[in-house]
Amino acid sequence: MIWMDYTVEQAGDAFTVRGDWPGEVMGWSKDGKKSGGKENVLYKPGDVFIVNENGWLVKSDEVNALLLKYEDAKGKHDSGISKRD
């Protein structure tokens, strides 16, 4: 599927995709109802994506695994720093 004529708006390390009306990319209708809009949505609240080595955002349903992987990597990075209890 190709999505065209959308704007990517960035604020710091966060970004959003804006369509012709608020919530369009999440399937909201033009009048703001959270259903009844587009049948195929780009993302919805709670979705988690991982950027792969080719720059694709890949949806992941494994949030716990993602958090554990992050904490493990962070622990290895911080291994030279003593931690307080």
Token pair of 42 as six digits? 């780009």
Residues 6+ apart with CB under 8 A from 62: none
Q: Which residue has the tokens 């290895």?
A: 76
What is the pLDDT, as a whole number, of residue 77?
64
Q: What is the pLDDT of residue 85?
A: 47
pLDDT average, residue stretch 44-67: 85
Burial of 25 (0-12, 13-18, 19+ CB in 10 A): buried
pLDDT attached to residue 68: 78
Q: What is the per-residue pLDDT for 56?
A: 93
Q: Tell me the sheet residues that pair with 9.
A: 16
Alpha-carbon distance of 73 to 79, in angstroms, equals 10
